[in-house]
A and B are shown apart, each in its own frame.
Chain A
């Protein structure tokens, strides 16, 4: 995928903003910094414990804007629908998107709908673009993490991916796992309050926390260390990982972020975060050790050490 982006896309339309590869593009327009992003949502099944594609399509884009410190303001939503999709299903998805947008204090101001033949898409695909403004004094970038920074994770890992998997048939377990899909604007606002220097922010979606941390390590050129025992994982998710042979560090999340905050401000930031619903389990999970030789080291729950690498692809259930 990385190669595809590099060779084909950057090859065709390269520019400095695109190259920065942040969760949203930040462009300057007449003294204001605008954040702009676009994302597509192809989740299957459309409905899962804790959400649906409508909610996801709003949260995902709102969160990408939050990750550059922007206040999300406007969304555009485009639906590609499979012929024969039930009107009831569509109505539910649309309602869900509307409710989530209201909750996130954003307005959906433009949109598009296309209907394509049976089989051309899997029921419904949604693409959402979003725009917001970045307040002055906020300088967040994946290349800004610094030695000494504390790493704050806003909550438990893996809830979304396990919820999706449990909604699909053929899994050898069942339980009470809901996706963590949620807009992060409130939590990020709490983090940034009182002029707290937040250097980097990422939401660990596809590829999980491992990929997000590795990206920051690479772009900021730093080595970091995290503690497995500090990372919140719900018992249901931990068990699902044991059964399927998964590693929670690689599971997708849709309502979490990891923040790099200067050490002196970390405890206060954590306190404010924990008062926000979706970040009640927030924890300091590690720190940036130094410059050079970018990598992520994990101190395991039993006191061992190992490197955490990027994901090599989606995890698949193993017998071995």
Chain B
């Protein structure tokens, strides 16, 4: 699971980067080397994360965003901006400038590319402020007709270690797998099976024997299996505190 989600995350950030037209990705190794150089030479004025201090924000910087191959950043670092109080660093090696530039581009990436947020904020998303005791009270009052903390949900906290994922899961545990339906024809004949297509005009099923069935939507009655009724009924009742408390409680079920 972790390997898969990491790969998916990589694909997600690359896809978002391409969509946003952010150009080539920053060089992570160079950015790592650039981090202490930035801290030693730039952070005092431009801020620890380059979002500005007494000197301008370098993440939303026109110079940084326009720089392609260090040409703009190099010129600025080497010559400074004396009239604005930015000192020149004429002796800074080109490699150091490159590494600082990659560090800055990484900060741009972490801000602009929302595909990176999942990774950046993963630890935050594993925490919950809820009260497990109150969550248990809610669970026992509302959920035990269908679920059991010692039965079907006994390992739910281990299955969904990220609090936000666990929360979304219990609010609406829809699955993307096959959906079952019962179709009643005008003649009264009933066919059950797995939905292949179901919209305002067409209904198609595959039955247990593997046979395909099609009907115009208007000609049949369709009853789609819906075991989410309990979850649906709770949607308008939850307070945000209820959600966080239930999450905290379910997280203890390992």
- A and B form one complex: no
Chain B residues at the A interface, C-beta cutoff of 8 Å: none
